Amino acid sequence: MKMKRIKTITAIVLLLSLTLTACTRPAASESTAPEESSSSGAASIPSDTEGESMTLGQLADYFVQAADDYNPNADRAAVLEGFDETEQATRLQMFVMAGRAFGDLPAPTGNGKNTAPPSVDLTDTPEWAWSVLRNLSNGGVLAASDLGLSELEEDPETMGQDDPLSDTDDTSLWGPDVSYSMEEDPDGISDTQDSSSGEISGNDKMNAHVTQKDAEIIAQRFFQAFGTNLKDNFYAAVNKGELDALELPSDGSTAGGSSAVAANTDRQLHELILEIVNSGEDYPQGSPEQKIRDLYKSVLALDARNEEGVEPLRKYLEAADAAQNFSELNAAIALAVNELGNLGNGLFPMVSVTDTQDSSRKVMQLMTLSPLFSAGDYDDPDNEMIQEYREIIIFQLTAAGESREEAERLTDGILRIERALTEHASSSEELNSLQSQTDRYTPESLDELMPQAKPSELFTAIGLKSDAPMQVFDNKQFAAYAEWFTEENLEIFKAMQKSALISGFGQFLGEGQDGNSDSQSSTPEEMANEAVQSFLSEELGQLYVERYFPAESKAEVEKMVQKMIDAFKTRISRLDWMEESTKQEALRKLDNITVLIGYPDQWDLNNAEIRGVSEGGSYFLNAAASETDKWKKMVKGLDEPVDSRRFPMAAFTVNAAANRNTNTLIFPAGILQAPFYDKNASFEANLGAIGSTIAHEITHIFDDEGAQFDATGTARNWWTDSDFAHFQELCKKAEEFFDGYEAAPGIPTDGKETLSENISDIGGIACGLEVLSTMENPDYDAFFRSFARQWLRTGSYETLASLAQSDQHAPNILRVNRVLSNFQEFFDTYGIKPGDGMYVAPEERIVIW
């Protein structure tokens, strides 16, 4: 777990996400398997709503139709064997019927193997379901969470010895003794079934009734496993060859698509760096090459770094430790900030941002302490993440000179504050509403809020004016935090400062000095490469652009950006739900968009003096000089007007962004390479890839968060009440459209958390299709396939589960399948009809922009 600097990073991410880019009768669960089907007639699938519980007959019809391209022997009577089709279907029955319909599954390979959930312990399931469920588990389409079960924990050498199926020779797909009934074999089910209700005891998940949406989500697992029919799963079919061949990197993260592009870019950057490092040329002092070589070599000077240990931080640690009151602690922090930069500020780290209430000026965003975990996590003494987090802080404090006993006491004090702050967090709705986060502070007003802390002393000492505008991420939580600044808690805040110094700068000292195991997993060469990319990103970006980004590529992308803006204007002009006054405001936003492509107009080079080891330099000193230069620029920028043409990303970044607060789109050179942009590809192919990305970023200016900003980038309501109410209804529909669909079996997507990105993905395709509609004989197939191929990616099951909790984007499979399912042009291109997995009825499709 990466804990280093995580508080600051978390707050930055949350901040920038706003600006820089949803009663039936009891089930007969032993799944009523003992009873014979009461009818052989077909049952209709409910079409008026996806929220109604399905009967077993309706479920059988659905799965037989869904499986017809994969198992030609799928038979309704066989799928219903042992079930009463008039009964409401349960989740257990749904999985058994799906398994019967689709038949034997292929052995997972490549992506299928990478994303397969852990094997499921079937001990608590009824015997008649064992063989079918085992087939699903082995095929990678059954997760333990599906039925409220546990994961199978077995040594590979003893795998299967305790398998429920090991006691029977009947391992057919239909399950052992499928025709027996409760009356015929009551003892066979007494351990798992309540004989009075027919339900499986203690397992509400198995007994839960299911809807058509549940069935669709499960069917998609099978479509993905086979990956042979683009009408059912476009992403899997188009990318099948690549998905089957993808292997995870050694770090177990992700591979393919943007991950592969980023890895290739890293190789290119490393080659550039090594050319300079290994060159015998005498580079002029202050040149990009000199700074790159000397910084790189200073990172590799491990013997000297290890010998020094934390000594370079000693005077800053001792200054904090010696503080007898907050005034002295403020002076100690000011000493660190003025000589080390913003990372030296453990109590009030900050970053300058464009003011959401006035986009012509900047404010300092205070990145103060906020909880990393939930209240329940803090209260759980066995929580592994809390234990690890606690040990990291203890390590940092002992490295700063505290005894183990004292470090534990101070760490628990820090955690006590964090736990208390969980009770004062604003809701996500409050945080996303910019109108509710309008409080602004100055150093002087903060003195009134926390008089004992006297923060104005610190802010003045580090170069800020007494009236410098400031804001916080969560006003409610910040007010609660301010109450902890008392003389009684001085020792805790001193500990926070010392912990921050070790956390922020330990990585620049000897090996393992920051207490974070993740920082020790990289090789020295990898750390040196990362240091150059971080501290000398502009210098390295210049060299990267010169070698890898031709001028003609920039010109072509500029043309495509204009096409997409024009297409967006066309679509806004003909919206039938938006009043003319709102349309004019929206069009004004498009007219005022600033587009940055490739690299900055002026390179913001690192002004710090980077010295080689032979000249008395070190990794710590070079990092401190760089951070100090960055801090001075930040303070100076508070008195300067906002520059919408400032390029906020490294030129080699494999990503794109929209800054809602400055109405700016950013497309670094790093993303303008295949599969996103290929100068040798057709126009339609590039339109489906980089074109959809461009329009995606444009749509961010109008998504549920971007809609709160006007043409200048200031938070202002430019909507009529009726238009905004309708827009919110459309957003709610989009939230529900994605909610629950999966990255992998048992890993659902949160439609609310991914709403902004989903709106933008749909807008990206809508604009691309608008452009295609103006062409003669456009190649829609090339457009759609290119769009799907750019999102090719695999990851481990654990990685996907983690991303589902943290990533504001939907998983890549949904960024293709759920997005394309909103467009008739897609259905027409491939002959997709009702009954196909990709089909969505017109009234259910999402059309916003």
Low-confidence winner among 279-293, 387-401, 423-437, 501-515 (lowest mean pLDDT): 423-437
Q: What is the DSSP string of 294-363?
A: HHHHHHH-HHHHHHHTTGGGHHHHHHHHH--SHHHHHHHHHHHHHHH-GGG-SSS-EEEEEETTEEEEEE
Q: Interhelix angle for 404-421 vs 384-399, to 10°?
A: 130
Q: Which amino acid is at 107?
A: A
- Residue-wise burial string across 394-419, b where 16 or more C-beta atoms lie within 10 A, e elsewhere: bbbbbbbebeeeebbbbbebbbebbb
Q: Global pTM?
A: 0.87
Q: In this predicted model, what pLDDT tens digit does every residue of 125-159 receive, in sequence order? A: 999 999 999 999 999 999 999 999 999 875 434 33
**199-200 and 193-194 strand pairing:** antiparallel
- Model pLDDT, residue 31: 40
Residue 12 has pLDDT above 70, yes or no: no
Report residue 437's pLDDT band, with 50, 70 and 90 as the boundaries: low
Q: In this predicted model, what pLDDT tens digit does every residue of 277-286 receive, in sequence order? A: 999 899 999 9
161 vs 709: which has the higher pLDDT: 709
Q: In this predicted model, what pLDDT tens digit does every residue of 442-471 receive, in sequence order? A: 999 999 999 999 999 999 999 999 999 999
- Model pLDDT, residue 517: 54
- Model pLDDT, residue 21: 65
Range picked from 244-248, 315-319, 368-372 for highest mean pLDDT: 315-319
SS3 185: coil
**Domain 551-604+646-844, second-level architecture:** 3-Layer(aba) Sandwich (3.40)
- Contact residues for 280 (Cβ-Cβ < 8 A; gap 6+): none
- Model pLDDT, residue 228: 96
Residue 663 has pLDDT above 60, yes or no: yes
Q: What number is the average pLDDT over the span 299-320?
A: 96
Phi, psi dihedrals of residue 679, rounded to the nearest 5°: -65, -20
- Model pLDDT, residue 203: 72
Q: In this predicted model, what pLDDT tens digit does every residue of 577-607 receive, in sequence order? A: 999 999 999 999 999 999 999 999 999 999 9
- Model pLDDT, residue 382: 93
Report residue 520's pLDDT band, with 50, 70 and 90 as the boundaries: low
- Model pLDDT, residue 762: 99
CA proximity to 620, closest of 399, 287, 397, 305? 305
Q: In this predicted model, what pLDDT tens digit does every residue of 734-763 receive, in sequence order? A: 999 999 999 999 999 999 999 999 999 999
- Model pLDDT, residue 153: 77
Report residue 46's pLDDT band, with 50, 70 and 90 as the boundaries: very low
Residue 527 has pLDDT above 90, yes or no: yes
167 vs 227: which has the higher pLDDT: 227
d(CA 644, CA 778): 36
Cβ–Cβ contacts within 10 Å for residue 841, how many?
9
Report residue 19's pLDDT band, with 50, 70 and 90 as the boundaries: low
Report residue 398's pLDDT band, with 50, 70 and 90 as the boundaries: very high
- Model pLDDT, residue 161: 40
Chain CA centroid to CA 707, Å: 22
| Residue in this structure with the two tokens 């004019």, named with its chain if needed | 584
CA proximity to 765, closest of 843, 668, 698? 698
Q: What number is the average pLDDT over the span 261-288?
A: 95
- Model pLDDT, residue 177: 33
Residue 2 has pLDDT above 60, yes or no: no
Report residue 837's pLDDT band, with 50, 70 and 90 as the boundaries: very high
Domain 311-508 has CATH 2.60.40.1180: no
Q: In the chain, where are the structural domains located?
A: 56-226, 311-508, 551-604+646-844
Residue 689 has pLDDT above 90, yes or no: yes
Q: What is the DSSP string of 85-132?
A: TTSBPBHHHHHHHHHHHH-SPPPP-HHHHHTPPPPEE-TTS-GGGHHH
Q: In this predicted model, what pLDDT tens digit does every residue of 344-383 receive, in sequence order? A: 999 999 999 999 999 999 999 998 888 999 999 999 999 9
Q: What number is the average pLDDT over the span 478-492?
A: 96
Q: What number is the average pLDDT over the span 180-185?
A: 32
Low-confidence winner among 194-198, 297-301, 546-550 (lowest mean pLDDT): 194-198
Could you list the beta-strand ranges (E) of 612-749.
657-659, 664-668, 742-744, 747-748
256 vs 45: which has the higher pLDDT: 256
Residue 482 has pLDDT above 70, yes or no: yes
9 vs 85: which has the higher pLDDT: 85
Of all residues in the chain, the percent with pLDDT exceeding 90 is: 82
Residue 8 has pLDDT above 60, yes or no: no
Q: In this predicted model, what pLDDT tens digit does every residue of 786-798 receive, in sequence order? A: 999 999 999 999 9
- Model pLDDT, residue 514: 67
Q: What number is the average pLDDT over the span 28-33?
A: 39
- Model pLDDT, residue 515: 61
Is residue 622 within 8 A of residue 608, CB to CB? The reply is: yes
Cβ–Cβ contacts within 10 Å for residue 450, how many?
18
Report residue 26's pLDDT band, with 50, 70 and 90 as the boundaries: very low
Residue 838 has pLDDT above 50, yes or no: yes
- Model pLDDT, residue 361: 94
750 vs 248: which has the higher pLDDT: 750
- Contact residues for 311 (Cβ-Cβ < 8 A; gap 6+): none
Is residue 356 within 8 A of residue 348, CB to CB? The reply is: no
Residue 42 has pLDDT above 60, yes or no: no
Residue 33 has pLDDT above 90, yes or no: no
- Contact residues for 275 (Cβ-Cβ < 8 A; gap 6+): none
Q: What number is the average pLDDT over the span 176-200?
A: 35
Chain CA centroid to CA 608, Å: 34
Q: In this predicted model, what pLDDT tens digit does every residue of 712-740 receive, in sequence order? A: 999 999 999 999 999 999 999 999 999 99
- Contact residues for 158 (Cβ-Cβ < 8 A; gap 6+): none
- Model pLDDT, residue 11: 40
Of all residues in the chain, the percent with pLDDT exceeding 70 is: 87
Question: What rounded mean pLDDT belongs to the chain?
Answer: 88
49 vs 228: which has the higher pLDDT: 228
- Model pLDDT, residue 4: 37
- Model pLDDT, residue 658: 97
Residue 43 has pLDDT above 90, yes or no: no
